[in-house]
Amino acid sequence: MMNYTRVRRYIVTKLGEDWIFLVLLGLTMALVSWSMDYASAKSLQAYKWIHGELKGNVPLQYLAWVTFPMILVMFASLFCHLVSPQAIGSGIPELKTILRGVVLKEYLTLKAFIAKVIGLTAALGSGMPVGKEVNKPTFSSLYYILTVGCAVGVGCCFGTPLGGVLFSIEVTSTYFAVRNYWRGYFAATFSAFIFRVLSVWNKDAVTITALFKTNFRMDFPFDLQELPAFAIIGISCGFLGAFFVYLNRQVVLFMRRPTALTRFLTKHRLIYPGAVTLIIATFTFPPGFGQFMAGELMPRECINSLFDNFTWTKISGSPAPPSLGRSSAWLHPHASVFVILLLFFIMKFWMSAVSTTMPIPSGAFMPVFILGAAFGRLVGEIMATLFPNGILFDGIVYRILPGGYAVIGAAAMTGAVTHTVSTAVICFELTGQISHILPMMVAVILANMVAQGLQPSLYDSIIQVKKLPYLPELALGKYNIFVEDIMVRKVKFLSAQSTFRELSHLLETSTLKTIPLVDSKGRRIYHFSHIQSFTLSKENKVHLSIKVWEEAELDKPIDMDQIRIDPSPFQLVERTSLHKTHTLFSLLSLSHAYVTSIGKLVGVVALKELQKAIEGSTRSGVRLRPPLASFRDASRKAKNTSNFS
């Protein structure tokens, strides 16, 4: 009996904590995500109702059409500015930085979470081309909690647990601990299940189905002769995705440039989001220019209509069937379907690139997804026009499905912008059909190949613009660069004999968060048997202030027992290669490492030095040429010559 109780207690303590936490995380995120969807859907419903009620009075309609989203977007911007400015933006670049081991203050707090949820709900309810994104968990203690939280966020947003987990791993991790895999899947699946159950309970869906369910025929969904068209979609989306990232970055850089306009917009924070919303709403106004770009459709309606089973070019010019529903917005009596799709794509392209720079919580995934779907649909409709009777192969006629092209375009475009291939899996789960698996994978991989060669991913681009600490990817190839070439040799240090005066001077003249502690003082190279580093806090500074301590006290040696010391900081040797250093920094999320030579502290390497070495530049921007490389090569040659002689 005693053994049974002990085993039971062991199982509960080991598994129970994880299971309970993951269930609670999944449940909380499902409730939050569903509440956001419900509130934003009601807001969009009210938006369309007001527009419909004012039919016939165009000036009033226009006023309502632009005022409604402006109020919501400006509220989102103001709320985030007052509650937590850290809630602005996507959240994925910051999460990626935090998972690298860098501490970003105020990012993983309850305040930031509340600001993000309320701000994002208002932004989604405005009908602007912004999307949901990763809801940041408000825990910062464990790596796996952040990873699982990211997976749950993505999985719950779209009801796609498998794609959500894979996407979160791709965008946030260089190295992923496989032991966290089941945790991510469990929490994301549970969260997505609850999210869909709530939709059924609210009568949004009849049963638990895919979010944007398609009904493509399963027997012959596409012909192999269509693969070149799918490949064209993939390659084109690669170029377009790279251009989207470039355009987004240029808008952000322009807004950060110190000009009279940007200074004015920074001072009056609500003008920029208000002006952007006004311009976008003016262009999408349905009785105006919006009639030529399906302006009346809200984001989810866009996706549902772009994925439909009809071929619009065949319907255009004839009475629309009643089952067409919201897709009728793409048909205009005086404009071709191609013109409307092309105008929609061009207009939404710059609108999405600009709206994601507004100081509100917003993700770029959904707007880019819609862009890709529109581009794919355009190619699909062109194919349907070129082959009106379908493609004949081996006695079977394959009818062109423009909706299938839209699904492939959506996966390829999001893959190109985010540099991920899991968008294909997200598309399978969103549509509930796996019929286009082969062409989708071909298109996504081709889009990635093109985009990765042209631009960083959208998230890496934001990391670079915000100057967040990051470690660039190391390209394949041999590097004749070692730690001794890039390390900082003038290391500030303390020894066991250091006085309070020395420590006080060190605190006043440097911004170091950790200082190496050596056994004994020496000359430029410090002799010691092992390094220790300790973290300094504000309390230390107060207590060690010259004003507090008497002159006599300052000359006394420091009592090291009173200071928090890390007895084994990470150490490298001078001959550690750049490749190995990069791997260690990535794998262990290091911010710095000390360099030793036969028990002597000879230098320190921080993330900054490693970043510069990988990017192949020094502070002056000159191509990095390791100072010791030529000396090493010469000594190697001399050694080889002496061996042969």
Same domain, 242 and 343: yes
33: its two tokens: 């995500």
Looking only at the bridges linking them, the beta strands covering 571-573 and 592-597 are parallel
Residue 493 within any structural domain of the chain: yes
Query: What is the 3 state secondary structure string of 458-472?
Result: HHHHHHHHCCCCCCC
Name the residue with higher pLDDT: 432 or 298.
Answer: 298
CB 449 within 8 A of CB 238: yes
Q: Is residue 430 part of a domain?
A: yes
Asked if residue 218 is part of any domain, the answer here is no
pLDDT at 547 over 60: no
For 408-442, write each residue's pLDDT tens digit: 999 999 999 988 888 888 888 887 777 778 888 88
Up-side HSE of residue 530: CA atoms within 13 Å toward CB?
8
Domain co-membership, 450 together with 502: no
DSSP 101-133: T---TTSSSHHHHHHHHHHHHHHHTTT-S-B--
Task: For residue 153, give the amino acid letter.
Answer: G
Give the integer Cα–Cα distance in Å for 436 and 39: 34
Asked whether residue 644 is domain-assigned, the answer is no
**430 and 531 share one domain:** no
Residue 403's domain spans which residues?
A: 27-210+228-317+328-466
DSSP readout, 144-203? Answer: HHHHHHHHHHHHHHHT-HHHHHHHHHHHH-SS--GGGHHHHHHHHHHHHHHHHHHHHHTT
> Is 628 within the bounds of a domain?
no
Question: In this prediction, what percent of the chain has a pLDDT beyond 90?
Answer: 7
- DSSP, res 575: T
pTM: predicted TM-score of the whole model, two decimal places = 0.81
Number of domains comprising the chain = 2
Residue 532 has pLDDT above 80, yes or no: no
What does the block give as tokens for 635? 């000594």
Does 487 share its domain with 419? no
pLDDT in tens, 600-627: 777 888 777 777 777 664 333 334 444 4
In a domain, 215, yes or no: no
- Over the chain, what is the mean pLDDT? 76
Do 346 and 396 fall into the same domain? yes
Indicate if 600 and 560 belong to the same structural domain: yes
Q: 530 forms bridges with which residues in the sheet?
A: none
pLDDT score recorded for residue 141: 45
What is the tens place of the pLDDT at every residue in 64-76?
888 989 999 999 9
Judgement on whether residues 156 and 268 belong to the same structural domain of the protein: yes
Q: What is the 3-state secondary structure (H, E, C) of 36-50?
A: HHHHHHHHHHHHHHH
Mean pLDDT throughout 152-159? 72
Q: Has residue 316 got a pLDDT over 70? A: no
Q: Give per-residue pLDDT as tens, 352-386.
A: 888 888 888 888 888 899 999 999 999 988 888 88
Residues 421 and 358 in one domain: yes
Which one-letter DSSP state was computed for residue 328? G
| CATH number (domain holding residue 168) | 1.10.3080.10
pLDDT at 552: 65
pLDDT of residue 445: 93
For residues 520 and 609, state if they share a domain.
yes
Enumerate the β-bridge partners of residue 572. 595
The DSSP call for residue 526 is: E
**233 & 381 share domain:** yes
Residue 3 lies in a domain: no
CA distances from 543 to 270, 510, 536, 549 (A): 43, 17, 11, 8
Last residue of a domain, one of 435, 466, 497: 466
Residues 122 and 32 in one domain: yes
Of 132, 128, 133, give the one whose Cα is nearest residue 276. 128
| 65 and 199 co-located in one domain | yes
Place of tokens 């799709």: 341
Per DSSP bridges, beta strands 391-393 and 396-398 are antiparallel
- 8 A C-beta contact, residue 226 and residue 199: no
Q: Cβ-count burial of 157 within 10 angstroms (0-12 exposed, 13-18 middle, 19+ buried)?
A: buried
Which residue has tokens 């966290």? 180
More confident residue, 396 or 383: 383
> Does some domain include residue 313?
yes
Report the CATH number at residue 513: 3.10.580.10
